Chains A and B, each alone.
Chain A
Amino acid sequence: MIEFVLNNKLIKTTANAGITLVDFIRSEQQLKGTKIGCREGDCGACTVLVGTINSKNHLIYKSITSCISPLGNAHGKHIVTVEGVNLNNKLNTIQTALKNNNATQCGFCTPGFVMALVGLSLQEHLVSKQDAITAISGNICRCTGYKSIEKAAYQIFEELTQIPLNNRLNWLINHLFLPEYFLTILDRLKQIKTPNIALKNSIKVAGGTDLYVRYADNLADADVHLISQVQQKMELTFDENRCTLGANTTVSDLFYNPTFKTYFPEIHAHLKLVSSEPIRNMASLAGNIVNASPIGDMTIFLLALNAEITLKNDDNYLRTLMLKDFYKGYKKLDLHAQEHLLNIAFKLPKLACKFNFEKVSKRTHLDIASVNSALQISVVQHKIQFAHLSFGGVAPIPFYAKNTCNFLGNKILSVAILKEASQILQDEIQPISDVRGDESYKRLLARQLFYAHFLKLFSKTFKILELVS
């Protein structure tokens, strides 16, 4: 039995946990405001909010794309669709802002934008007006050209700067952002018990952002083992010089973690290149790793952190190995039967250590990379202590550029050394031509991104024209 609150209504359903949330909302509940545009999380027409009680007993809302989210992940949560934010016989504040700025034309994408912006209003730490754009980064509109939507989003952000630190929900209700019933949700969710629905020998699903793009039809009537329901979500832990991430840590968990940001000051800029806000809210790091896509952004990120992963089998036997040793060939993993990924750990970068992430794709945001790359490098008095360099899109696996890393170790940082290293890199990569770019482009791009790391991290030492000429 899956139990959750949908808008203002308690749902108890025996529907299969593997069907998509959007199908449940539209077909079973006949709520047609949530639209289906692509069924792969790439358009945002199906955006809904998920309210979850966190460890501090707060109700936290995040936007997700309901087309690639299994129904079972809604258990114990508050799911909010556009019908759940409508007020009686009038538009809410967000809808009014969109209307006043002419931000709707054909209307098909509109409920998705409304929900993304309601998500913004429920966000706890709004910093800059760019947050308003981040909130709608997963929503595609084919009619307006976005400028009107952007204006509405900024206007909403301006209003939200008035929000008090406490009693936020009351303020939002008083300012017609939300209907009153939101005040009752926390108590209602507390009544819902955690189920025991661990299923052995069934497909393991975390966020679902990859599996549901590929196999939604099969998963709809399959037994699914929902990691979120059986494994309490592990917070990021920092001890000594080490960071440990639970398998179902999402990209957003990294994005919004203040401690993480102290070690990776550029984290927001980097992670904004990774899919979109709703996908980051769902996608797990473990999923990105075991999916083994040669282009997985987070895997590339973690490879350069020289991360290790711990696997656990059904007999609770643990096995730890380096992430870079996990990949044996295209989509081939060093993963035994009955094993699953438990956590990911890496040494936190020290002061002399610098980190950078680069990604180029056809569209800068919400796209899959043509080539992506990360570099962690420690330099003391111009001497490279160590370098960990990873590349996506240049090999059948998420690629750790071992030869280049070995070469760079103990070298004095110079233009000549980088040029030589770039040549070694060219020798060890094997990109192929596909829809994201042809081979010669990916080779050129790999060189450019290799240099980009150094131009960014050592901007006073290097000049572009010295490297690329």
Chain B
Amino acid sequence: MKNTDSYSHLRGESLYIDDLNTQQGCLFGLVFDAPLAHAKILELDYAKAETIDGVVKIFTYQDIPGQNQIGGIIQDEPLLAENDIHYWGQPIAFIVAKSDAIAKKARQLISLKTEALPVITTATEAFKKNEFVCAPRSFKMGNTVNAFKTCDYIFEADTFSNGQEHLYLETQGAYAECGENSKIKVTASTQGPTQVQKAIAKVLGIGMHQIEVDVIRLGGGFGGKEDQASAWAALVALATNHLHKPVKLVLNRHDDMRMTGKRHPYESTFKIGLTKDLKIQAFEATFLQNAGAAADLSPAIAERTLFHATNAYFIKNVYTKVLSCKTNLPPNTAFRGFGGPQGMFVIESAIAKAAEMLNIPAYKIQEANLLQENDAFSYGQIATQVEAKNTWQTAVKDFDFEKEVKLVAQFNSHNDALKKGISVMPICFGISFTNTPMNQASALVHIYQDGSIGFSTGAIEMGQGVNTKLKQIVAQTFGLSLNKVLVETTNTTRVANTSPSAASSTADLNGKALQIACITLKNRLSVIAKAELNTTDKAIYFKDQAVYNLQNKESIAWETLIQTAFLKRISLTEQAYYVTPIINFDKTAEKGQPFAYHVYGTAISTVTVDCLRGNYAIDSVKIIHDFGKSMNLDIDMGQVEGALAQGIGWMTSEELVYDKNGRLLSNALSTYKVPDVYAMPKIVVVKALESEGNEMALLKSKAVGEPPLMYGIGTYFAIQNAIKAFNKNYCLKFDAPLTPQKVLKNLYNAFKNNS
């Protein structure tokens, strides 16, 4: 079934923040931010800027009536800088003016005197200086120290994976307007409306009940609008609260890229031990996470790195440790995969290193260690309904992997200037918020008197198609066509205390709550229907806009049933609540069952490297993916392809560059290169694994948002293999992304110039 939002998208009629019909007299906000990365503020002078005609007010931390604090997990992040600057782009003042252009002119007139302090941009530097945003975490299973003694081979190396800019096409933004009795309504581009509501209440020093947060849709989120959306909503709310005027803030692209956090760069080390039969006996890794200047979601992301540090492999002895290092970059944050990709990059690097040293293809080691039923993860959960081998073997067979490997070898023996590389990338990704209390959701369903239905949940539509899936649930439950069903905006006054739309769990959690509400209504309506159909049969059916008693083929039209129920004073509204059963995690023991289930898959990637120019093309990525019983393959396929593109981007062309002063150099689309249409693999094949699905998934249709991103890691290793085919002296490097610069230098590591 097609995404039901596509009609308005294609006609340009979908509404994003900048498209809202604002109230008359709407003012425009602009953020004045730190022009250096670490400093003491000596003087902030905005008197001149405030005299410009059309500037209404310039807000600083001193204008905040409540607490100057928007930190989520840890209270360590001011909304507006007070005496110190901790990163380049940190908001210092908020200019509110009659137009965007006036605000921009005012911004140029603000002057700031500072005393510069030493800047830390890398995790290693912060580690050496003992700068952390939270305590380290470590997972342990078995005994690695003893296990290494029994290994035939042990390899160690350093790895680096860079951060990643979300580059949601719609930049961050929010719009606030006043209601009666000091109530403020904020329309925000956020994945976490409750988080925004909480942040605003705290900043304004008022109750959450005085803040209504409404979200229509997002022009992309990818994790970048989970915690990071709070600041902009809080700023417009602050201004509206003070001025009693509507205020809009939409970040321009440069401001957005400079001011917001990104995927965390990781500097890591590994030690891997194998026996002669290629079984990995022991694995140790230390992850230095570059958290940026405040905690944001870093502690949770660090945790997920540990959860996925062994990817789809069973390793008996594991010791992994992560340190969230405090640096002077913008607070890094959630990004599709949430620390998982960084963990998987390290284990895949370790396997590639071992393969290189043993002079065998990496897939031999990968295959020998795939997870099997009842294997334990390092965090104590026992793997069940494991599809690691199943997806691997299906991929190898369906995509004729052996032949593909031969073709690559043949091609390479006949070509000097072009070399091909191939790799396999299995994935295993856990589904649930690892912070167990977040796995709850509720839904509100109204059946109107004419039989049409409107419903609300905590789910945010950001392109992932959750609205369509939710409408399917309602329509299917009541046997109605989709045009009878409308999904409302996500609004904190209708559905409160929501978890953010994240962790791939949005459809599962909200859909299950919605399903419960619909079933309750259906049961209630069944009583009426049975009376009307004059039957005591258990089996009555809701289908084709009617209710049937199949035995005597009588039916009652849906509309009639609803009218009857209303006249009989039966409630046509239901609110329902869902919590994921079973899951738990004990953070002191670092053991438990944090995930409802795991998603599996295997990708085979083939690339061609131009060994003259150092650039490359991705020939194909062929994937067997475990969707469970997909409830909407149109949407789910799109999630796999889109996630793959982001994974490929992270591993190839998307390179964040900060200079040593902490200034972002890759600060625009001209200098930060996400994949374009030509950068994608020429061939992408995604096939669904035949599997049973999982009861904990909505209609047994497994979560699909994040896991496929990690297929992109395969392209990194395929390119490495191609480089090696050209330059036999090349030793693998684990330094992502693998840009054309790095490729060319690796192809010609003997080149010495005469400069």
Contacts and interface: CB of A to CB of B under 8 A. Distances in A.
Given A217-B104, A370-B741, A443-B753, A144 B642 contact: yes
Contacts of B14: 107
Contacts of B417: 455, 464
Contacts of B613: 358, 360, 445, 448-449, 452
A135 to B, nearest CB: 10
Contacts, number: 248
Interface string B655-679: 1010000000110111101111111
A217 B612 contact: no
Contacts of A104: 3, 5-6, 9-10
Contacts of B15: 32
Given A39-B253, A102-B635, A444-B753, 12 more contacts: A35-B219, A98-B6, A102-B2, A107-B14, A108-B168, A110-B10, A145-B638, A149-B677, A220-B101, A358-B613, A368-B671, A370-B741
B634 A443 contact: no
A364 B9 contact: no
A95 B10 contact: yes
A220 B171 CA distance: 22
A32 B12 contact: yes
A437 B655 CA distance: 11
Nearest to B751: A444
A102 B638 CA distance: 7
Nearest to B2: A99
A106 B641 contact: no
B52 to A, nearest CB: 14
Interface string B636-664: 01100111111000000101010000000
Interface in A433-460: 434-441, 443-445, 447-449, 451-452, 455
In the complex, which of the residues B10, B614, B755 has the most CB atoms of chain A within 10 Å of its own CB atom?
B10
B220 A108 contact: yes
B668 A38 contact: yes
A142 B222 contact: yes
B402 interface: no
A148 B655 CA distance: 26
Contacts of B464: 105
B677 A146 contact: yes
Contacts of B612: 448, 451-452, 455, 464, 468
B676 A363 contact: yes
Interface string A82-124: 1100100001000100111010111111110010000000000
Given A220-B101, A435-B665, A444-B751, A142 B168 contact: yes
B154 interface: no
29 contacts: A26-B18, A35-B169, A38-B668, A40-B668, A42-B668, A43-B169, A86-B12, A95-B10, A98-B10, A102-B2, A105-B638, A106-B219, A110-B12, A140-B169, A145-B638, A145-B641, A147-B680, A150-B677, A150-B680, A213-B670, A363-B673, A368-B670, A370-B740, A440-B755, A441-B741, A441-B745, A445-B614, A448-B612, A464-B416
A148 B638 contact: yes
B658 to A, nearest CB: 10
Nearest to B220: A106
A363 B744 contact: no
A449 B646 CA distance: 30
B740 A360 contact: yes
Question: Which are the 3 A-B pairs with shortest beta-carbon distances?
Answer: A33-B12, A106-B463, A107-B9
B152 interface: no
Given A443-B753, A448-B613, A40 B679 contact: no
A142 B3 CA distance: 17
A464 B613 CA distance: 11
B739 interface: yes
Contacts of B19: 32
A204 interface: no
Contact of A145 (B5, B7, B253, B644): B644
A426 interface: yes
Interface of B: 2-3, 5-16, 18-19, 101, 104, 166-171, 217-220, 222, 252-253, 416-417, 462-465, 611-615, 617, 634-635, 637-638, 641-646, 653, 655, 657, 665-666, 668-671, 673-680, 684, 739-741, 744-745, 748, 751, 753-755
Contacts of B253: 37-40
Nearest to B19: A32
Contacts of B462: 106
Given A137-B678, A147-B684, A435-B657, A440 B10 contact: no
B676 A137 contact: yes
Contacts of A45: 169
Contact of A108 (B8, B219, B678): B219
Given A147-B641, A360-B613, A444 B676 contact: no
A32 B18 CA distance: 8
Contacts of A66: none
Contacts of A455: 417, 612
A38 B669 contact: yes
Contacts of A390: none
A136 interface: yes
Contacts of B465: 105
A463 interface: yes
A42 B653 contact: no
Contacts of A98: 6, 10
Contacts of B634: 102
A440 B416 contact: no
Given A95-B10, A106-B220, A107-B14, A142 B679 contact: no
Contacts of A145: 638, 641-646, 675, 680, 684
Contacts of A436: 671
B416 A463 contact: yes
Interface centre among A150, A221, A364 (most CB of B within 10 A): A364
Contacts of A361: 673, 740
A34 B12 contact: yes
A91 B11 contact: yes
Contacts of A370: 740-741
Nearest to A221: B101
B709 to A, nearest CB: 11
Contact of A468 (B13, B220, B671, B748): B748
B614 A106 contact: no
A366 interface: yes
A106 B464 CA distance: 7
A144 B613 CA distance: 29
A136 B679 contact: no
Given A91-B11, A104-B3, A463-B416, A39 B252 contact: yes
A180 interface: no
Contacts of A133: 677-678
Given A106-B217, A106-B218, A145-B684, A440 B13 contact: no
B740 to A, nearest CB: 6
A21 interface: no
B621 to A, nearest CB: 10
A418 to B, nearest CB: 13
B670 A42 contact: yes
Contact of A444 (B18, B674, B748): B748
A143 B684 contact: no
Contacts of B12: 32-35, 81-83, 86, 110-111, 114
A111 B11 CA distance: 7
A140 B645 CA distance: 12
B169 A142 contact: yes
A427 interface: yes
Nearest to B754: A426
A131 interface: no
A261 interface: no
Given A107-B5, A360-B614, A465-B416, A137 B677 contact: yes
A408 B220 CA distance: 53
A248 interface: no
Given A435-B671, A438-B741, A366 B676 contact: yes
Contacts of A468: 612, 748
A99 B668 contact: no
